[in-house]
Amino acid sequence: MEVLDPATGRPLPSDAIQRVLFIANSVHVYNIPPMTPGKGHVAASWTADDGKRQIFTARVRVIETAIPATEDGGDEKVKTDIALEDASNGSLFAAAPYTAVAVVEPVSDSSRFFALRVQDEAGRKATLGIGFEERSEAFDFGVSLQEAQKTLGWAGTAGKKPAAVERKDSAEKRDLSLKDGETITINLPGRFGRRKPEPPPKFSNDDALSSFSLPPPPGGGSGILPPPPPAATSARAKRLSAQKLGFDDGKFGEFA
């Protein structure tokens, strides 16, 4: 059986091997407007004009082709193509060589629609829209592309970060674990725990006496109390009292 190139329809070497990764017999093909900056492709704009943008319904196949090394030193080649074909007779309508992840782009508003970058033999490119009737078919289509990426050696390259970002990430991921003998100190604010009450200060009796003092007297004195008056004898006090009352102690003696 003759093996044809999915991208050109031309015959391939007889020892070429092909594998169909995905097939869907009823996929809608659209002539889509340019991508909206900041929004990407929007499938709602493809179907809003009463089907005027739909070109036809096609069969979609994802085909992996392996061409063995030739005797004259040619290397083995493996490639993947997405072919849009006439479902009735299998004739090729358009093909998209899967040379980069960006050849197939999902839309921003649906999981069943994709933007497909097709290319003819002269290298001219155009972007067409494809829409699956079933979400399960669209899911299987995405899985087949992931499998092709692994075969082509692209696994892990999608969404790869720039070198500067990778260097920053590697610096942030350096080993910060504690080595033997190293410790770490953490100072927590007061609100994270209760402060222990401080014990009262200890001092000796001498310290207590030297630091203790009476408050000053009212009116602002020097703080030293006046000495008490001298004590009088009992007899003298009585005589003075009798004289003040008008008694003559010479006649009656002392007043008792």
The mean pLDDT values, 10 residues at a time, for the chain of 256 residues are: 82 90 96 88 89 92 90 81 93 94 95 95 92 96 96 69 43 56 63 58 50 49 55 54 52 46
Domains present along the chain, CATH in parentheses: 17-156 (2.30.29.30)
- What tens digit of pLDDT does each residue of 86-132 get? 989 989 999 999 999 999 999 999 999 999 999 988 889 999 999 99
Beta partners for residue 177, in sequence order: none
Q: What integer pLDDT is reported at residue 108 of this predicted model?
A: 93
| Long-range contacts, stretch 142-149, CB < 8 angstroms, 24+ apart | 143/22, 144/21, 144/22, 144/62, 145/62, 145/98, 145/104, 147/21, 148/21, 148/62, 148/64, 148/80, 148/98, 149/101
- What tens digit of pLDDT does each residue of 38-59 get? 889 999 999 887 778 999 999 9
Three-state DSSP state, 138: helix
Per-residue DSSP letter, 50: T
- C-alpha distance from residue 33 to each of 37, 95, 125, 158, 167 (Å): 12, 19, 14, 26, 39
Q: If we measure between CA atoms, which residue out of 125, 119, 133, 144 comes closest to residue 57?
A: 133
Q: What integer pLDDT is reported at residue 233 of this predicted model?
A: 52
The token pair that represents 229 in the structure block: 């008056």
* Phi, then psi, of 104 in degrees rounded to 5: -120, 120
Task: List b or e across 191-224, with b for residues whose CB sees 16 or more CB atoms inside 10 angstroms.
Answer: eeeeeeeeeeeeeeeeeeeeeeeeeeeeeeeeee
